[in-house]
Structure 1
Amino acid sequence: MRCGKGEEVIMSVRLRTRPTLAGQMLVLQLAIVIVVLVAVAAVSLAQSAATFNRVEGRRVTLLAEQLSSSPALRFNLRNPAPEETLAPTLQTSLAQSGVSSITVADSGGKVVAATNPTLIGTDLTYGDPSGDKRRGWSGQLNGELVAQVPVLSDQQETLGDQIGTVMVGEHSPSVLQRLRGASSYLAIYLGIACVLGLLGSWLLARRIKRQTLGLEPREIAGLAEHREAMLYGLAEGVVALDPHSRVTLVNDVGRRLLDLPEDAVGKSLNELGIEGRLREVLSGDDEARDAVVVRRGRVLVMNRMSVLKDGRSLGSVTTLRDRTELAQLERELGSFRSSAELLRAQTHEFANQLHTISGLIQIGEYDEVVTYVGALNRYRESLDLTVTRRVHDTTVAALLMAKSSLAAERRVELRVSERTTLLRLDPSLSADIATVLGNLVDNAVDAAAQSGTPLSPAWVEVELRQDAASVEIVVRDSGPGVAPELAQEVFAHGFTTKAAAEGERGIGLAMTRMICRRRGGEVAVTNLDEGGAAFIARMSTQRTPEGAR
């Protein structure tokens, strides 16, 4: 769906007018600061009101008790016109105490004297909710802080009877008066708090802006959506680690290739049981390029890149590609290449033999021609008889014949041990044994050819042993042997015997180990006492479950 230029302009204006993340945070923090300041002011007013009620309540109560216990007031209450005799006393008390009002009522609750003359003759309002006039009471009444105290008779015949009530009132200050009466430093405190709140809000907004790399929430959400779509849309696996080798991200392809659990994120490599070559590539200090790792029957090609920001390591990101099928194709291509090499070697061998025969004919040595042809025929028959008599599986026998020619071209003698015994095998097992044997023989020929001399001819010996449950392949050579520290790494790291000395990584021996383990066996290497190495591979003749490791 395409938008016109007008719509694009409107959308861009809306995006520009939308408040930024820093602006939103600043407004939010300002609102919080204002709410806090209002709450502080409310608490201050509440404390001021409580202080007023407590202090002034005691004062007006004390004044009311003094007046109620005054003999003059008791005497005047019994007079026929108490308002005339009590008025001076009330005005004097009002002036001396500074209260707002003083009211005196008789035993019936009718006001007989007051500093406010308009109240004389009216009924006194009692604040006690129980309505008991003989009880003293203090509290807020009609906007005033009031204390009401009963006046008791001191006459012998009416001793203890209530003859009246004294009420002293004090006006409660307004909110503005309370603010004025509060601490003189309250405004300063509130101002300082406001400034600090504004400064903190601004600093927080800047920090969030810096941590989000200047991105707004909508941009961050868009990046997250694009990242999810990219990670889970890739055909390659992606694994991200933090500096402590904990998994921070892994997509579905990476989880499947590495056989990781659903809750792998947040766990370390130790907790996930990742060891060996795979661990070295994932958590290695150096960036890996096209590193080959065999993981539970899969051939993985991995590329690792460290993530740095401002010179600080944030972890690493590793991509994984499944090359198991490609490795299988390479292995099949290798078999075709091996066949082509065999034909070339045989062609070269036959050409040399024909040249020799042609030369003998040209110089007239006809008897030597017959002798030479007979010797060649006996050697071929001897080799064929040796291999076919001990190896009854045609695939493996043909492989040994082919490798013998290739070894001879490189001046390496390929021998079949007299202890060799191999019967006809199941086609699938025969193919796996041929693959393992061919790989081990090629590595052995490479190693022996490098160390062969005229005084010490190079050789490779093959021994095949079979029992009811397994087949054992032993390939010995006269090469330099394998360094003890590489005895396990040549398999775990995917070294080939030729590349082990050069430090290059391949998948030849790693594939050999994978086939052996798939067949319920193992492969190992040891050095011979007389020099050279011996590779020993074992495979079960029984069928193994699909996917067994």
Structure 2
Amino acid sequence: MSMLSGLSARMPSRLRRSTGAPGRGNRKLSGRILLSQLAILGLTSTIGFLLFAVAQRAQLDSEYERRALAIASTTAAEPQIRDAIAYGTGGDIVQSIAQRIQTASHASYVVVIDRNGIRHSHPLAALVGAPVEERPLAALDGQDHVGIDQGATGRSANGKAPLRGPTGDVIGEVSVGMPEKDVMGQLWRELPVFGLFAALALAVGVGASYVLARRLKRSTFGLELEEITGLLQDREAMLHGIREGVIAFDRQDRVTVVNDEARRLLGLGTALGSRLADMLPDGRLRRALDGTLTGTDLTVVTDSHCLAVNRMPVTLHGQELGAVVTVRDRTELVGLLRELDSVRGLTDALRSQQHEFSNRMHTLAGLLELGEHETAFAYAVESAGAEPALAESIRSRIGNPLMVGLVMAKTTVAAERGVRLTLTEDSELGEQPPHLDRLLTIVGNLLDNAVDAAASGGTAPARVQLSLVEEEASVTVRVADSGSGVPPEARSRIFEDGWSTRPDRGTARRGLGLALVHRLVQRHGGSIEVSEGPGAVFTVTLPVPRPAPAVAAKGAGW
């Protein structure tokens, strides 16, 4: 099944218009196939006919040799010939009997020879009484012999039978030959029949070749060889040149097309001919690829990528041929969108603080104008110490400046949305905690979800608590919110890609944060738990990686 199956019904007409009339070097595919098959059939029929003629000739030679042997055996059993040779009283008796048998059997010769090699009969009268000098008598061993003989009368099928006397001793031989012209005549009479069979077989082959050529033409939608080659080259260039993964499935959900980008994004090896169930474990990715999940731009999070998956069925003439799946890498885009959304939230918080600062300055200016200097001083001291006190409180528990900055930013954004974010008293994180990059991602996503949940409902006042505890064997992150909590029926799905109880907000795609956290935790051997409520408490535990064992110096020791 090809990716271009859906367009193939319209493609031939365009190609024919662009290709022009086929010339001698661009003969139609059906014509080429028909001519090739005709040539093959003609050649094979000719070879078969010749092989049959040779085989039939050998069979006729064998048949005429047996006939010559039968005549020789009959002649050797003639009592007059046997007595004449045994007692030397032959005279013209042997010659006359042999000529009569030769005429009756249409043999080319009937020759009677005694043990001394003297001919007693021969078609050529001059050779009667003459010895045989060319070869010794073959039948003196008492056995029958057949073969092809090239004698004085020409080429003939020969049979030799031993001539036995009254006592049973071999006293000579009888040699009979059937003329070559009889063998060839029989062969020429049989060849036309077999030639007719060969012609009928050739005609049937021609008809079958014509039907096959028409069927192939329909199967290729009228495309010629050059057009098929061009389409294949274009398809390969397109599939392996685009920065988008493409996978095609047939009606049995076997992979028929997969490009390099799809292998890279999905981690597939040799996928051609395989089924999804044999390549991928059950999960959102496999359900998106096999069509179980429906929709456009389905978001799937893997260990390395955030993907957008689309599946499109392919049909032709109302018949379903399979499906084509496109996979786009949105990892960088989703990261940028989430970062942009965070920056927008922080910008809104700073804008709100700017307004609050302006209000405070207006209040301070009014107090000074009224002459309330002591009250203005106290108000200024109180306003200036609030933010530094919060920062100092966070720094006293968290030593890493990146984590401090993240918590401060999330606290400001939460305050803008009416949520109070606090750091628990038991929190303690060093300057260089393990899994720092992963901790920043986990804490940021969990706090975003917690602030959203607390701001959208639950108990009042809206609050979020963060706990970061670094121990010798693990680092524990606990985020609790005052929201409505996780519904019991959704506890098994909250870590799936794209799952969310709220619609998308601006550019940020919902349902990715918890999925990313879950995959990060699983990849590094940690655990993540969620409470049943009220509110929601997410607890993440990451094991501290063990340091690599030191390698002893070469040659060290006592």
- Identify the TM-score tier after normalising by the shorter chain: 0.7 to 0.9
Residue 476 of structure 1 aligns to a residue in which SS?
Answer: strand
Relative to structure 1, is the Cα distance of residues 492 and 446 closer, same or farther in structure 2, using a 3 angstrom cutoff? Answer: same
CA contact (8 A) 1:305 1:318 kept: yes
**Matches for 1:262-277 after TM superposition, within 5 Å:** 263-277=270-284
Which residue identity lines up with residue 147 of structure 1 in the other structure?
G
Q: What is residue 189 of structure 2 aligned with on the other side? A: 180
CA distance in 2, matches of 1:472, 1:441: 14
The amino acid that maps onto 2:249 is L
Show the counterpart of 1:459.
Answer: 463
- In 1, Cα distance between the equivalents of 2:547 and 2:313? 40
- Answer yes or no: is the 8 Å Cα contact 1:287–1:305 preserved in 2: no
Cα 1:165–1:439, aligned 2, differ >3 Å: closer, same or farther? closer
User: What pairs with 1:186-335 in structure 2 (closer than 5 Å)?
Assistant: 186=194, 189-261=197-269, 263-284=270-291, 289-335=296-342
Deviation at 1:100, TM superposition (A): 3.8
- Say if 2:526 and 2:543, in contact at 8 Å, map to a contact too: no
Q: Does 1:417 align with 2:421?
A: no
- Which residue of structure 1 aligns with residue 161 of structure 2? 149
Q: What is the root-mean-square deviation of aligned Cα atoms in Å? A: 4.5
Q: Which runs of 5+ in 1 are unaligned?
A: 1-10
In structure 2, the residue corresponding to 1:112 is in which secondary structure?
coil
Q: Where does the alignment leave 5 or more consecutive residues of structure 2 unmatched? A: 1-18, 549-558
Q: For 2:69, which of 55, 61, 83 is the aligned residue?
A: 61
Deviations 1:365-403 (A, max 9, x none): 999999998997897687567645544555444544443
Deviations 1:32-83 (A, max 9, x none): 4334434554565466446545554444323322322323224444798956
Choose which of 510, 520, 536 in structure 1 pairs with 2:539.
Answer: 536
Deviates more, 1:195-204 or 1:30-39: 30-39
> How has the CA–CA distance of structure 1 residues 148 and 372 changed in structure 2, closer, same or farther, with 3 Å as cutoff?
same
Q: Please give the alpha-carbon distance, in whole angstroms, between the structure 1 residues aligned to 2:247 and 2:547.
A: 32
Q: Quick one: structure 1 residues 353 and 440, their matched pair in 2 at CA, closer, same or farther if it must change by over 3 Å? A: farther
Match of 2:343 in 1: 336
- Is the CA contact 2:420–2:464 (under 8 Å) kept in the aligned structure 1? yes
Match of 1:89 among 97, 100, 107: 97
3-state SS of 1:438 partner: helix
**8 A Cα contact 1:496 1:505, kept in partner:** yes
Match of 1:479 among 467, 476, 483: 483
Q: 1:363 to 1:406 in 2, by over 3 A?
A: farther
1:160: which partner in 2? 169
Deviation per CA, 1:108-144, whole angstroms, max 9, x where unpaired?
4343323454654555587889685765322221332
Give the 3 Å change call, closer, same or farther, for CA 63–391 of structure 1 in structure 2: closer
Q: Which amino acid aligns with 2:515?
A: A
Q: Which residue of 2 aligns with 1:72?
A: 80
State yes or no: 1:526 paired with 2:530: yes
Deviation, structure 1 residue 514: 5.0
TM-superposed CA distance for 1:340, in Å, is 0.9
- What is the deviation of 1:356? 8.1
Q: Give the structure 2 partner of residue 113 of structure 1.
A: 121
CA distance in 2, matches of 1:352, 1:176: 129
- Name the count of aligned residue pairs: 524
**CA–CA separation in structure 2 for the residues paired with 1:462 and 1:344:** 25
Give the C-alpha shift of residue 493 in structure 1: 0.9
User: Structure 1 length normalisation: TM-score?
Assistant: 0.77
Larger CA deviation: 103-112 vs 385-394:
385-394
Match of 1:447 among 447, 453, 459: 453
Question: Which letter maps to 1:177?
Answer: Q
Q: Are 2:49 and 1:30 equivalent residues in the alignment?
A: no
Match of 2:551 in 1: none
C-alpha distance in structure 1 between counterparts of 2:292 and 2:89, whole Å: 108
2:553 aligns with none
Specify the alignment match of 1:493 in structure 2.
Answer: 497
- Tell me which of 508, 530, 535 is aligned to 2:513: 508
Amino acid at match of 1:532: G
- CA shift in 2, pair 1:119/1:342, >3 Å: farther
Tell me the distance in 2 between the aligned counterparts of 1:161 and 1:280. 96
Distance in 1 (alpha carbons) for counterparts of 2:454 and 2:51: 94
Structure 2 CA distance for partners of 1:451 and 1:258, relative to 1, 3 Å: same
Query: Greater relative contact order (Cα 8 A, min sep 6): structure 1 or 2?
Result: 2
SS in 2 for 1:113: coil
The answer (yes or no) to whether the contact 1:345–1:405 under 8 Å persists in 2 is no
Q: Structure 2: how far apart are the matches of 1:128 and 1:328?
A: 107
Letter in 2 for 1:64: A
Letter of the structure 2 residue corresponding to residue 512 of structure 1 = V
Report SS of the residue matched to 1:102.
Answer: strand
CA distance, structure 1, for counterparts of residue 392 and residue 87 of structure 2: 156
Aligned position for 1:3: none
- Would you say 1:437 and 2:446 are equivalent positions? no
- Mapped to 1, the partners of 2:441 and 2:41 lie a distance apart of 77
Could you tell me whether the CA contact under 8 Å between 1:297 and 1:514 is conserved in 2? no
Q: CA deviation at 1:343?
A: 0.4
Contact 1:277 1:493 in 2 (8 A): yes
Determine the C-alpha separation between the residues in 2 that align with 1:271 and 1:141.
74
| Alpha-carbon distance change, 135 to 384 in structure 1, aligned in 2, over 3 angstroms | closer
Query: Per the alignment, in what secondary structure is the counterpart of residue 451 of structure 2?
Result: helix
Q: 1:8: which partner in 2?
A: none
The offset of 1:146, in angstroms, is: 1.7
Code of the aligned partner of 1:167: S
The structure-2 alpha-carbon separation of the partners of 1:507 and 1:200, relative to structure 1 and needing over 3 Å to count, comes to same
**Which digits, 9 at most, give the CA deviation of each residue in 1:483-529, with x for residues without a partner?**
4554454434144564499xx755333343455456x3546352434
Q: Secondary structure at the match of 1:114?
A: coil
Structure 2 residue matching 1:91: 3-state secondary structure: helix
Contact 1:109 1:165 in 2 (8 A): no
| C-alpha contact (below 8 Å) 1:127/1:138 kept by paired residues | no
Q: TM-score, normalised by structure 2?
A: 0.76
SS in 1 for 2:445: helix
